[in-house]
Chains A and B, each alone.
Chain A
Amino acid sequence: MTSLPAKTGRKLGLVIDLDTCVGCHACVISCKGWNTENYGAPLSDMDAYGATPEGTFLNRVHTFEVARPAAPPMVVHFPKSCLHCDDAPCVTVCPTGASYKRVEDGIVLVNETDCIGCGLCAWACPYGAREMDAAAKVMKKCTLCVDRIYNENLPAQDREPACVRTCPSGARHFGDLADPDSDVSRLVAARGGFDLMPEQGTQPVNKYLPPRGRDTLQAPDLASLCDPVTDSATGFLGWLDRALERL
């Protein structure tokens, strides 16, 4: 059970567009909401109204700054959740078989009634995608909203992960990355989607799309725009400048 399947039928996953993400954290909140109210142990908060609140989240948004050699720095909002890796190290380390990867669609899940809360899977994950719930004492992770995507009680447009459904800027996409003709696969091909930490050998299913090239400003440097322009002022401003000069 904790052995990885040789091949999964489909590879359901997310494609996250670092160009369009505005860092609003709406996906963080909708994820917490859905996964607290539905499948599995709720995502608890500790000391929620005290001095040091903290809680379990399956999706978090980091913000990075890239200092570029010959251009202004770039700010990139960076949502991060489980990448549902093909070679998931969190699955094989599990001593009880609680952690597993589904053969049919490649989703990595935790069977909470088998989890002993040893935490080894969280250590094995290079991405920090797993968090032990402090109240339930079992490992929590992104389920790719497995209780939404196949849920026929929901309207068709809601059968996608809560984070994707809620994203106001369309920065998150959901689909089958094993199918080269799926929307997400074509998006990855067109935009040059990449893996996080490929050197860790995890072969993540989720892909990230790089920021698009920015427009370049036709000015030698931004600081020159701040220089006083009184020398060349004409009209009323020129008269005022000369009058003040004479005082």
Chain B
Amino acid sequence: MHPAPSLIVFTVLSGLGFGLLVWLGLGVRAPSGMAAFILFGLGYGLSGAGLVAAAFHLGHPERALKAFSQWRSSWLSREAVLAAATLMVMAPHAAASVFAGGGLPVLGGLGAVLALATIFATAMIYAQIKAVPRWHHASTPPVFGLAALAGGALLAGLTTLALWGMLALAVAMVAHWVAGDRQFAQSGSDTGSATGLGYLGRVRLLEPPHSGQNYLLREMVYVVGRKHAHKLRLIALVLGALLPALLLMVPASYLTVALALVAHVAGMCVQRWLFFAQAEHVVGLYYGRASQD
């Protein structure tokens, strides 16, 4: 799948923002006054910036409000509704924390649940797509969820929670890669089933339907960068989870937490890039995707 920068930025930043709001809403970190202003501002800023980045991905951003209508069936619509609900429900809790010296636990708790649901909805947008076998697996939501919770804990300065979060994230990322590498073969889709001619013999593309590019090839039959996948996975694992975990084990200071945060965000950007670039869509079978057996 095409790794659109707007989608990478969106999923990383909004994940961080909503992860931070989970901890702030639950009151695990209960700042007040200026500290609350900065932390809630960060949570709202990151999740809001992510949503704006996602809107840039649309062909018709001016119609984006229509995306709130189909929450009964569509995970993308659910994500939009949940994100807006989180930001609205959390607002009185945030305002009270900043101006009244203490939060509103009930609204904060409800906001935290909504923020968690938003992160899950983001993951399900990808995990629901059966035509991309690597994504269509139970290991996808944990990667999104743990990245958001670990990164959010780091932003909130909850170093112990962040440390355990980072270690769990490392396990989730590896599990997602190991499972993902087998998913295409396990989907049962191959050129034989795609054409229905598999019973006759070995099927291969003789002539493509067109000599130029098209939307499908650019969007879904993306191949660049799979070459260095192994190295990039190591970079994502080390920067995104292991190095932050290591930095969180030494006595906490602003410098180590800041370094951990920079490494984590850089690592998650690499992880998200791989998440898209390595995901193969079954439509590639109609365009000569070589079987990997």
Interface residues, chain A, CB within 8 Å of chain B? 1-3, 18, 28, 52-57, 60-69, 73-76, 78, 80, 89, 92-98, 114-120, 122-128, 131-132, 134, 137-138, 194-201, 208, 210-211
Contact = CB atoms under 8 A, between A and B. Distances in A.
B166 to A, nearest CB: 30
A66 B203 CA distance: 4
Interface stretch (B139-147, B168-176, B187-195): B187-195
A86 to B, nearest CB: 15
A126 B130 contact: yes
B189 A127 contact: no
Interface of B: 1, 57-61, 63-64, 66-67, 69-70, 72-77, 80, 125, 128-132, 187-189, 191, 193-197, 200-210, 212-216, 219-220, 281-283, 286-287
Contacts of B214: 54-55, 57, 131
A53 B211 CA distance: 9
A52 B210 CA distance: 12
Contact of A93 (B57, B74, B193): B74
Nearest to A3: B73
A65 B215 CA distance: 25
A115 B219 CA distance: 18
A116 B220 contact: no
A200 B281 CA distance: 12
27 contacts: A2-B70, A2-B72, A28-B209, A54-B212, A54-B214, A60-B209, A60-B210, A62-B205, A64-B197, A64-B205, A65-B203, A66-B201, A66-B203, A67-B201, A94-B70, A95-B70, A115-B60, A116-B61, A118-B58, A122-B215, A123-B132, A123-B220, A128-B283, A131-B214, A197-B189, A197-B193, A201-B130
B116 to A, nearest CB: 20
A101 to B, nearest CB: 12
Contact of A199 (B193, B197, B200): B193
B59 A94 contact: no
Contacts of A114: 63, 66
Contact of B200 (A2, A57, A66): A66
Given A118-B58, A126-B282, A196 B66 contact: no
Contacts of A134: 215
Nearest to B55: A116
Contacts of B216: 122, 128, 131
